[in-house]
Amino acid sequence: MSVALPATALPEASTAGPRISAAALRRALIAGVRRVIARREQLNRINVFPVPDGDTGSNLAFTLSSVLDGALSRPARQAGTLLRAVADDALDGARGNSGAIMAQFFHGLGERVGSLQALSPAQLAAAVRNGAEQARGALSEPREGTVLSVIQAFSDALQQPASSLRDWFDAALQRSRRALANTPNQLAVLRQAGVVDAGAQGFVDLLEGVADFISEGRPAARRVAADEDDDAQCHDAVAVDSFDSEANPEHRWCSECVIEAESDAGIDRESLRAAIDRLGSSSVVLAGGGQRLRLHAHVACPGRLFELAGGFGRVAQRKADDMRAQQRAVKNPAAVAVVTDSGADLPADWIERSGLGMVPVRLNFGDEDFLDKVTMHPAEFYARLRAIGDAERLPQTSQPTPGDFRRQFEFLGSHHAEVVYVGISRPLSGTLQSAESLQSRLHGVALRVIDSGHASCGEGLLAMAAGEAARDGADGSEIVALIERLRSETFTFAATRDLSHAVRGGRIPRWAAPLARWLPVTPVAAIRADGRLGVAGVLPGRNNVPERLAAWIMRRLPPGRRWRLLVGHGDCEADGVRLRDELAGRLGDCEAGLVEAGPAVGAHAGPGALVVGVQRLG
């Protein structure tokens, strides 16, 4: 995205006085960005406003990593070109409230600088002032005591002349530090927790990295280590149990998307903001320009927010993080955090009990994109699936992007010593490979990726076992060994009366459909030892399927063992209850659960499908 040069652009610098070249500006920003990324964990630990979900450091690191890997990774001849590219990359990578504000600050800098090759201090000061104004204007409800206060203090200080570039910047840095120290006096929640604002601290970290470059010509690690010790002292004070008093507890989803204008007229920013306010939301940030915006908001229903955004342009880069789940992760004392994907079907209380994180699979109906179990829940999925005509295209699922995994892994890695991901069977999806692609690219995150060899209920049971082991104190290697052992002691079966969805989706050859309609049978599939799904048998007829499927499964389970049982249903709850109760009665002493199976099953098996996961206990 290019930013048009506004009528108020700065004049070309004169030859008199110090000038900041594009090369020097780039190296200074690299130093600042690296410092913020290095301080990610400390920023997470002091994050209490607007929601104490412990992710401000991760969000800033993700945002600025996009800049570091993009605009800052290549030389630039013009300062203006560099700052516009920084703004574009920050907008693309922005995550969370803090990341969106930072992106808008950079957008203001790039817009004001225009196409200048080098900057005088006065020109940089004017650009920073524009960035501060735009950062404040991006929020529906700007608050003092946040990063906005520190950015404003930095901007105000830069307007004052100084004898040298170093003295000029140092004076602005000192004023920014004082503004940071004052944030607890401006926000009661910070004062109660005994911390400064995390976003504001991140901005000061950026400035300190730049100051290190100005004074030493390179990033300095000395102060980072000292600050880590200081932050550790306030760690216990930030053990917050719920949303603070100023946050709306109903707005549990931190939701974001990019909106791209569909005409030269651009996006009607004020109408968009008014529509978001009517929807009911908090922490709203609109970052970017007239042709491309990043929308950030805390909402109760991400799907409604994305639908609203679609009325103002093309919507891309949807993401929604459950802040309640993030709070649980922050409070979880286990050394290992366990994550799975939404291809794993588990009841909500089982997920919470085992402390699991979940990365949503992507789902689309035609041109509409959704996040599985976040912006489209199973009940809505099956309702839409039943309404699809024979000639219409079936919904498609696709693996989460590496960015989806990266955001989750980096957040959890900042709060736990290790992260273990238990993923859907490799032969069934590219999801596992998407996670594996990050193993060598995540700085400071000890990540283990495990192939569950299963899907749906079977994958869910294995992920749950891993979460319970982590809760009980197992380390990463012990959890890997446990899952490798349980993989062969976990069984996944599925049955469906209607093969039309599997045929249309390509899972079953077309010649099989007429045969299945002619013969009164119900096919049963199973996950094999190699992780592939195959037909394992048939049930004669199509009546009393739950009872007859239970009997068929019992003949294939080793006798004399105690089991954990999970039954999934595709919009056929009554059948699911019958199957669960029949199996639980036959298995005897077992833990049994019921869940509505998600689109990883439903998109291929259709409504009426039944899934069974059983796992040996003890």
Q: Kindly state the percentage of the chain with pLDDT values over 70.
A: 88
Single-letter residue type at 405: F
Q: Tell me the CATH number for domain 490-617.
A: 3.30.1180.10
- Give me the half-sphere count of Cα atoms (radius 13 Å) on the Cβ side of residue 106: 29
**Cβ-Cβ contacts under 8 Å for 64 (sequence gap 6 or more):** 33, 36, 37, 90, 93, 102, 206
Q: What is the structure's pLDDT at 522? A: 84
* pLDDT digit string, tens, across residues 176-209: 999 999 999 999 999 999 999 999 999 999 999 9
- What angle do helix axes 269-279 and 302-309 make, rounded to 10 degrees? 160
Give 521-525's long-range contacts (Cβ < 8 A, gap of 24+). Answer: 522/495, 522/496, 522/497, 522/549, 523/495, 523/496, 523/499, 524/493, 524/494, 524/495, 524/549, 524/552, 525/493, 525/494, 525/495
DSSP characters for 190-245? HHHHT---HHHHHHHHHHHHHHHHHHHSS---HHHHHHHHHHHTTTGGG---S--T
Residue spans of the domains in the chain: they are: 20-238, 490-617
Q: Where are the beta strands (DSSP E) in 264-388?
A: 282-288, 292-299, 314-322, 336-341, 357-359, 362-365, 368-371
Does domain 20-238 correspond to CATH entry 1.10.3720.10?
A: no
Q: What is the structure's pLDDT at 19? A: 87
**Cβ-Cβ contacts under 8 Å for 46 (sequence gap 6 or more):** 56, 193, 195, 196, 198, 201, 231, 234, 238
Reported as type and span, the H/E element at residue 136 is helix 121-137
Q: What is the structure's pLDDT at 306? A: 94
Q: What is the structure's pLDDT at 227? A: 44
Mean pLDDT, contiguous 10-residue spans, the chain (618 residues): 36 58 94 94 90 86 91 91 94 90 95 91 95 94 95 96 88 97 95 94 96 74 41 37 56 93 94 93 92 94 94 93 86 92 94 92 85 90 83 80 87 92 94 88 88 97 97 96 96 82 55 59 90 88 89 91 94 96 93 92 84 92
Tell me, rounded to whole angstroms, the distance of Cα 385 from its chain centroid: 27
Q: What is the structure's pLDDT at 11? A: 40
Distance in angstroms (rounded) separating the CA atoms of residues 46 and 57: 9
Could you tell me the sign of the dihedral formed by the alpha carbons of 495, 497, 501, 507, in that order? positive
* pLDDT digit string, tens, across residues 561-611: 889 999 999 999 999 999 999 999 999 889 999 999 998 788 877 888 999
Distance in angstroms (rounded) separating the CA atoms of residues 157 and 161: 9
**Parallel, antiparallel, or unpaired: how do β-strands 336-341 and 357-359 relate?**
parallel
- The residues facing 339 across adjacent strands are 357, 421
